[in-house]
Amino acid sequence: MEDILYNKFEVIRFINHPVPSNSYVVYDKNSRKCILIDPGSKDPREISTYISENSLFLQYILLTHEHFDHMWGVKPLLNEFHPQLVCSKRCAQKISVPQNYYNLLYYNSEEYHHIDSVDIITEEVNNHLHSYPFDIYFINTPGHSSSSICIHIGNYLFTGDTIMNGFKPFIKKRHEGSIEEFQGSIELIFNSFPPHVLVYPGHGESFTLDMVEEFYRNYK
In angstroms, the CA 216 to CA 220 distance is 9
The CA R_g of the chain, rounded to the nearest whole Å, is 16
pLDDT at 188: 97
For residue range 49-84, list pLDDT tens digits in order.
Answer: 999 999 999 999 999 999 999 999 999 999 999 999
CA distance 120 to 117: 9
Q: Any bridge partners for residue 153, and if so which?
A: 136, 156
Q: Specify whether the CB–CB gap between 142 and 181 falls below 8 A.
A: yes
User: Measuring CA to CA, which residue among 93, 179, 192, 115 is closest to residue 150?
Assistant: 192
Q: Is the pLDDT of residue 3 over 50?
A: no
How many of the other CB atoms lie within 10 Å of CB of 67? 26
For residue 2, what pLDDT band results from cuts at 50, 70 and 90?
Answer: very low
Q: Specify the DSSP element, H or E, that contains 87.
A: strand 84-87
pLDDT of residue 99: 87
- Whether the per-residue pLDDT at 6 is higher than 70: the answer is no
What are phi and psi for residue 135, nearest 5 degrees?
-120, 110
Encode pLDDT of 24-58 as tens digits. Answer: 999 999 999 999 999 999 999 999 999 999 999 99
HSE of 106 in the Cβ direction (CA atoms, 13 Å)?
A: 15
Arithmetic mean of pLDDT, 176-200: 94
Does position 4 have pLDDT exceeding 60, yes or no? no
pLDDT tens for 133-154 read 999 999 999 999 999 999 999 9
Of 194, 191, 170, 193, nearest to 182 by C-alpha is 170
pLDDT for 165: 96
Residue 5 scores a pLDDT above 60 = no
Is pTM beyond 0.85 here?
A: yes
Tell me how far CA of residue 151 lies from CA of 49, 100, 108, 169, 189, in angstroms: 24, 28, 34, 18, 11
Instruction: Compute φ and ψ for 55, nearest 5 degrees.
Output: 55, 45
pLDDT, average across residues 182-194: 95
Average pLDDT taken over every residue of the chain: 92
| Predicted confidence (pLDDT) per residue in 89-130, tens digit | 999 999 999 988 778 888 888 888 899 999 999 999 999 999
